[in-house]
Amino acid sequence: MAESPMKTYRIQGLSCTNCAAKFENNVRELEGVKDAKINFGASKISVQGSATIEEIEKAGAFDNLKIRGEQEQVTQKEPFWKQKENIKVVFSVILLLVSWILDNRYADGSIMPVIGYAAAIIVGGYSLFVSGLKNLVRLRFDMHTLMTVAIIGAAVLGEWGEGRPSSSYLR
């Protein structure tokens, strides 16, 4: 019986090496998969077995990974600011800028910049924060958990500007 060949796929949205390892393990556990090897730097996964792109993508649903064939090119349909999922990023940046201006203009400890920073964190980082809290409770540490701890720490220390979510982790 001949072994099935390795098929290579491109991965879009891979955020950290821990997530890559989790994704690789999830793919290995799929029915019909004999082996899977991930190349984090190239954002590719090689799969030996009969899994479909849809099944592989489902294995990466925890990090909203998108899978496509190795030769398939990425075509961005709309600019960043017009993509529906990025509206919260734009709104969060606006809140952050307004809060920063207020913070620099009124150095008397006004509550308005704090409210603005908190709103920017909530709007821009809500899904990351919820995911990070769930992981923290389960003692699973990944990039979402790290960012959640950083946001909480920044808020506790009163360094609201440091707690803003990074745009690469907003979804």
- For the cut 80, the answer to whether the pLDDT of residue 27 exceeds it is yes
- For the cut 70, the answer to whether the pLDDT of residue 170 exceeds it is no
- What percent of the chain has a predicted confidence (pLDDT) above 70? 81
Residue-level pLDDT at 167: 43
Give me the residue spans of the domains in the chain: 6-69, 80-169
* CATH of the structural domain 6-69, one choice from 3.30.70.100, 3.90.1150.200, 3.30.499.10, 3.40.50.1820: 3.30.70.100
Residue-level pLDDT at 1: 47
- For the cut 90, the answer to whether the pLDDT of residue 148 exceeds it is no
3-state secondary structure of 28: helix
Residue-level pLDDT at 111: 80
User: CB neighbours of 112 closer than 8 A, spacing ≥ 6?
Assistant: 99, 102, 106
Position 143 confidence tier, pLDDT thresholds 50, 70, 90: confident
- What percent of the chain has a predicted confidence (pLDDT) above 90? 9
Strand partners, 35: 48
pTM: 0.55
Distance of CA 7 to the CA centre of its chain: 25
Digit-coded pLDDT (tens) for 34-77: 999 999 888 899 999 888 888 998 888 877 788 888 777 655 56
Residue-level pLDDT at 99: 86
Q: How many CA atoms lie within 13 A of 27 on its CB side?
A: 30
Give all strands of the β-sheet with 44-49 in edge-to-edge order.
33-39, 44-49, 6-12, 66-69
